[in-house]
Amino acid sequence: MDALYWIINIVLMLGAVAIIALVLMQKSDDGGLGAAFGGSSDSVFGNKNKIKSAQAKMQRYTVILGIAFAVLSIALCLLIKFA
């Protein structure tokens, strides 16, 4: 059980970092940090449909990681309580 505790903790930490990175990379309505990393320059040089699909993928991945993070957090709590 101790190994499972550490595995879930490490996965939670990596997931938290991934969620933070995905949220910061997303372009907000007013630019935000998404524009700071070059998100706004793509609309000038690239295809706008490609940019919209990339934003949709990042939003989908953020939701998936958020759900996985919540499930792993609950699993960790149950593991601590019943182990």
- Give the residue extent of every domain in the chain: 2-21+42-82
Q: Which residues of 8-36 are buried (b: 16+ CB within 10 A; e: fewer)?
A: beeebeebeeebeebbebbbeeeeeebee
Residue 4 has pLDDT above 80, yes or no: yes
Residue 26 CB contacts under 8 Å (≥ 6 apart), including other chains: 34, 55, 58, 59, 62
Q: Give residue 1's pLDDT.
A: 79
Q: Give residue 73's pLDDT.
A: 97
pLDDT tens figures, 24-78: 998 876 655 555 666 555 455 556 677 678 888 999 999 999 999 999 999 999 9
Query: 82 or 37: whose pLDDT is higher?
Result: 82
Over residues 7-32, mean pLDDT: 88
